[in-house]
Structure 1
């Protein structure tokens, strides 16, 4: 081919194309991006220093104009690199030109694959190195005030600093529920850090006198006990939020955490400008943070949070926590589950979201309302997932998702969520207890016992945990082991589940006379805060009296129990536990209303809708029809129950097992039925 004319400035872009400058630019871009991905994503995985990464990027940038100049002046030919004028005189080979296309396609495919590989290794690296680089736990702050009643204030300041840190996605922050068992300034920091899976510990103290506050905080590297940062802040109560913001920002800076614009706004936010409202919020928060989810703690939290939003109706954070406390109380019945309570929980969540649509706690509260009050699991999950972006370190989100999955019968998914929550909150006793309850429902008792022992390592001699171990022994038919665990315990009148487990033990042993005086003592001074639970305890007294052989006393007790339970049904028509108590009480009285109650509840709560609540009602149905002389229906129900996981309706919620059915007096009417004997492993009657 004849040599072409010199470059025409008017045809400059055509000449760029002819000389393959565009192709070189594209190919260079693909390969450069490929190399940058290798440098930024893979080099750190092999612990190659960051200066090498920066050098690679700099060389690539400098090389780009050089590559374009070379592409203009030279061309790659079968005979090697030739000046463009010489290459123009040589025959063209289409296949060589098509090679550029192959280079781009192959390079692009490699780059794309490396991108996803880099993202994967980067994610795994961040998970694996977070503990070593940017992980932190905030220990309880010392209350140095002369007034010990100011302990709530120190707890609140600690929690608010922790909450601000936890909203930084680049940090791993352990939840407060895992640190509250520690002292404020323990000596074995390295061991504590190992238990919590973190590299850094925050210690602090708070001294409050009138409207003056002194906050002292220090950040410690646990491995060598070195102090990375410390400061003391003397402020007025009206300026306490600036202290929390400064502390959170200083700690984030020390750990070199990358903050987004939204995160920077969050850690400097002032939830309220009303000091009295903030004080009431901190008092309510202190009740909410207590380990025991009891009626007293729920009522205390509700009382002060209501006061906080009364003092400042625009206090979104307090509205959110109020809704969360009430929705949880509605579900767990630490608050009376009335229609009015459910409505208040809804209004509080919606008020919080209206005031601050991007407040993570408000989004979480709305999800909790849909889960706990409405059983609208699809909507609840949407809110929980939305809350993740605002609360990246909150264990409550995977924990809540675990509860939803459990009620849907998705046990493997529930366990996966529990694992995620436990990584963020490894020493949360309530969380670990729920893990044990899941294993109980699945009748995986050895795993449940291991989890309960883990709790006892954190809180030795915890009564509720020992009670659960005894309930497992009952389910396994080992009454001597259960008795050894239960005998030393002395539950308070408010610990109704614990007391009922002790009563159930004596009933299973057929020796309830010893527990009857204790029940009468508790019922002589009924706690109005327990609501219908007083009537429930009276049902247990009647059952104990019947097993003890005092039929007349049992009938009188059950009549009184019914009169105490029935009034609550008007305000709590969806309270299935109340319905269970009424059904069992009517059963004891021989009233067929028992069957109507439980059948209506089963229709409203089928197993397909809720695999925890549904089987509980079938459990009661089996007891009622057994007592009423319908063995076919009772045995069919027992066959169903023994084949599925669920939480039992009595005492500590263990499900029925063959051993427990053999021991329970309510199933005595079935004992001579061959089908029953086969079902529970009893020898056939002769």
Structure 2
């Protein structure tokens, strides 16, 4: 057990070599490792991984001696295609990895494809010494945990490796990813993580510009710095170099969120096919299924998370996401509390709980959870957006704009944060400034000012707010142009199977555009469908300028009352069950 990082590292390096072989479908790291140390039927394992053959074995280390056993087995009948045992010193570890990979490639090609190719070398690039390599494996092991403490340890290990061997490219690319993840999962400021990651990637590229991990790291950095087209290009390069790079496909899905929702879904699905049991990939797959309204598949994936990774709380938190999206606020609270109690150090386990509590009008309680999130991951976009909703719910416009400005310093250029500033200015009557801010993200810059509309991806959600601001500025024709484009984009996304955007029904966005146009009946019909899809944020409708034309409409008033009554019933159930708890109470309560 104390050598787990070493055995995992050797296995992952071998997996990476095999993943580069053309025509091979290789299950990803996390999925492959989910069954280590367990005696399970090979056919069941193969079915879960989507493979036909399984490479299994063991690694034993004593001092500078290692013994590696490996065998390649057909999953359907247990037939051994190949097996071997290697007794080596650590100095030979790189040659052993390469030797095993070559043997497996030959065995698979000869057995499955009827080929016996020459054994071209596919050597894993070694660090300059075994001590550095040992630290490199420790760094990767810690980074995969994605907690604040594990990421600090990963950064430390990578730095030690680089100090020992400054020319080891994988350590530089790993360091870059560790820095980027640190701004997502801990309190590291984004500007610090981006700067450090950029330096590490530049050095990794100098050492090896044909390494898929380095291109993937670059794609992650470019996505996080809102350079989405450049991020897409970098991640496609990573996938070209290694088509089985599951995390590159996963990060490509993140880059495409703004550019192309349909291709985003395809990227997340491909990542899931390659590594169906990975913690992050499974979570993103759940989100993808929720976006398409495929709740059965989302629930199934979340339940797999709960089964395979119970210690992380991610299964419970994703079941919470499902409940929240379906309008089951009380169930969402219950699942988020379970996730938090399981692993309170993981921000993703409870970052949406304050959002639910705001919808339940539990303002003080929501504040306690927001403060907990702000302590753990103050720069998380979900944390920042949660505080935005908290201020808006209280109609505190001064605090809303101050928070939005501070958020923009933490996440420069992030569209929802920019739109948050625009909304604050719009609500206090500064229409000219609001229009300019909306245009900065919704229109491409032209030679003489704002140019063509860029309203694809999730930006379309904010099109109606831009149109409402244009209406208030007396620019009616332009407002109609924006709503026409937004409605067309929303309907196109519906045709592509998208039902939710930023966890809200796509019908809410349609309703907003119809309301801006003054088409009350169509707006109310769409809003009712949004409620049927789980929308319980009627307070949000009342706060948004886009729904101003509906505020005196009896149908709108009645719908708000119905939603508020349902929310009150759910709040009462939570009170009866004793589930309206602060973070401190949640850890000690007898639930």
Q: Same fold (TM over 0.5)?
A: yes
Alignment match, 1:46 = none
How many Å apart are 1:441 and its aligned residue?
3.7
Alignment match, 2:564 = none
Alignment match, 1:192 = 45
How many Å apart are 1:210 and its aligned residue?
3.5
Q: Which moved more, 1:347-356 or 1:570-579?
A: 570-579
Between the aligned partners of 1:533 and 1:389, the Cα distance in structure 2 is 30
Equivalent of 2:246 in 384, 395, 398 = 395
Task: Mark the CA change 1:387 to 1:532 in structure 2 (over 3 Å): closer, same or farther.
Answer: closer
Alignment match, 2:201 = 349
How many Å apart are 1:317 and its aligned residue?
1.8
Between the aligned partners of 1:286 and 1:541, the Cα distance in structure 2 is 37
Tell me if the contact between 1:482 and 1:505 (Cα under 8 Å) persists in the aligned partners.
Answer: yes
Alignment match, 2:273 = 423
How many Å apart are 1:163 and its aligned residue?
1.2
How many Å apart are 1:226 and its aligned residue?
4.1
Alignment match, 1:204 = 57
Q: Secondary structure of 2:440's match?
A: helix
Task: Mark the CA change 1:361 to 1:487 in structure 2 (over 3 Å): closer, same or farther.
Answer: closer
How many Å apart are 1:431 and its aligned residue?
2.2
**CA deviation vs aligned residue, 1:140-165 (integer Å, no higher than 9, x gap):** xxx4xxxx2x3211110110111112
Pairwise mapping of residues 262-341 of structure 1 onto structure 2 (< 5 A)?
264-266=120-122, 268-290=123-145, 293-327=146-180, 332=184, 336=188, 338-341=190-193
Alignment match, 2:476 = none
How many Å apart are 1:286 and its aligned residue?
0.9
- Give the aligned length: 514
**CA deviation vs aligned residue, 1:614-645 (integer Å, no higher than 9, x gap):** 356669989999xxxxxxx9xx99x9698776
Say whether 1:663 aligns with 2:537. Answer: yes
Task: Mark the CA change 1:276 to 1:426 in structure 2 (over 3 Å): closer, same or farther.
Answer: same
Larger Rg: 1
Alignment match, 1:574 = 413
Task: Mark the CA change 1:416 to 1:182 in structure 2 (over 3 Å): closer, same or farther.
Answer: same
Task: Mark the CA change 1:669 to 1:384 in structure 2 (over 3 Å): closer, same or farther.
Answer: closer
Tell me if the contact between 2:359 and 2:536 (Cα under 8 Å) persists in the aligned partners.
Answer: no
How many Å apart are 1:192 and its aligned residue?
0.9
How many Å apart are 1:606 and its aligned residue?
5.5
Alignment match, 1:36 = none
How many Å apart are 1:374 and its aligned residue?
5.0
Alignment match, 1:219 = 72
Highest RCO, 1 vs 2 (Cα 8 Å, sep ≥ 6):
2
Task: Mark the CA change 1:235 to 1:295 in structure 2 (over 3 Å): closer, same or farther.
Answer: same
**CA deviation vs aligned residue, 1:67-91 (integer Å, no higher than 9, x gap):** xxxxxxxxxxxxxxxxxxxxxxxxx
Tell me if the contact between 1:477 and 1:663 (Cα under 8 Å) persists in the aligned partners.
Answer: no
Between the aligned partners of 2:50 and 2:128, the Cα distance in structure 1 is 36
Tell me if the contact between 2:309 and 2:315 (Cα under 8 Å) persists in the aligned partners.
Answer: no
List runs of 5+ in structure 2 lacking aligned partners: 445-452, 471-478, 509-529, 562-591
Tell me if the contact between 1:532 and 1:578 (Cα under 8 Å) persists in the aligned partners.
Answer: no
Between the aligned partners of 1:311 and 1:304, the Cα distance in structure 2 is 11
Between the aligned partners of 2:121 and 2:189, the Cα distance in structure 1 is 37
Say whether 1:246 aligns with 2:96. Answer: no
Tell me if the contact between 2:293 and 2:500 (Cα under 8 Å) persists in the aligned partners.
Answer: no
How many Å apart are 1:665 and its aligned residue?
2.8
Between the aligned partners of 2:15 and 2:552, the Cα distance in structure 1 is 57
Between the aligned partners of 1:617 and 1:483, the Cα distance in structure 2 is 28
Say whether 1:436 aligns with 2:286. Answer: yes
How many Å apart are 1:425 and its aligned residue?
2.4
Between the aligned partners of 1:685 and 1:174, the Cα distance in structure 2 is 48
Tell me if the contact between 1:299 and 1:335 (Cα under 8 Å) persists in the aligned partners.
Answer: no
**CA deviation vs aligned residue, 1:641-672 (integer Å, no higher than 9, x gap):** 987769766xx788784336653434445799
List runs of 5+ in structure 1 lacking aligned partners: 1-142, 626-632
Tell me if the contact between 2:336 and 2:349 (Cα under 8 Å) persists in the aligned partners.
Answer: no
Alignment match, 1:43 = none
How many Å apart are 1:450 and its aligned residue?
4.7
Say whether 1:683 aligns with 2:558. Answer: yes
Tell me if the contact between 1:219 and 1:228 (Cα under 8 Å) persists in the aligned partners.
Answer: yes
Tell me if the contact between 1:399 and 1:421 (Cα under 8 Å) persists in the aligned partners.
Answer: yes
Task: Mark the CA change 1:677 to 1:471 in structure 2 (over 3 Å): closer, same or farther.
Answer: farther
Task: Mark the CA change 1:203 to 1:667 in structure 2 (over 3 Å): closer, same or farther.
Answer: same
TM-score (norm 1): 0.60
**CA deviation vs aligned residue, 1:255-281 (integer Å, no higher than 9, x gap):** 2356877x8232x34332222322222
Task: Mark the CA change 1:349 to 1:582 in structure 2 (over 3 Å): closer, same or farther.
Answer: same
| Aligned-pair Cα RMSD in Å | 5.0
Alignment match, 2:566 = none
Between the aligned partners of 1:452 and 1:622, the Cα distance in structure 2 is 38
Tell me if the contact between 1:500 and 1:540 (Cα under 8 Å) persists in the aligned partners.
Answer: no
Between the aligned partners of 1:685 and 1:530, the Cα distance in structure 2 is 33
Alignment match, 1:600 = 437
Task: Mark the CA change 1:436 to 1:230 in structure 2 (over 3 Å): closer, same or farther.
Answer: same
Q: Secondary structure of 1:172's match?
A: coil
TM-score (norm 2): 0.69
Between the aligned partners of 1:593 and 1:623, the Cα distance in structure 2 is 13
Say whether 1:171 aligns with 2:46. Answer: no
Pairwise mapping of residues 87-236 of structure 1 onto structure 2 (< 5 A)?
143=1, 148=2, 150-236=3-89
**CA deviation vs aligned residue, 1:488-531 (integer Å, no higher than 9, x gap):** 453555444543433333332334555666666x48x945x645
How many Å apart are 1:314 and its aligned residue?
0.9
**CA deviation vs aligned residue, 1:572-602 (integer Å, no higher than 9, x gap):** 5335566678789x789x9779995896376
Alignment match, 1:6 = none
Task: Mark the CA change 1:186 to 1:341 in structure 2 (over 3 Å): closer, same or farther.
Answer: same
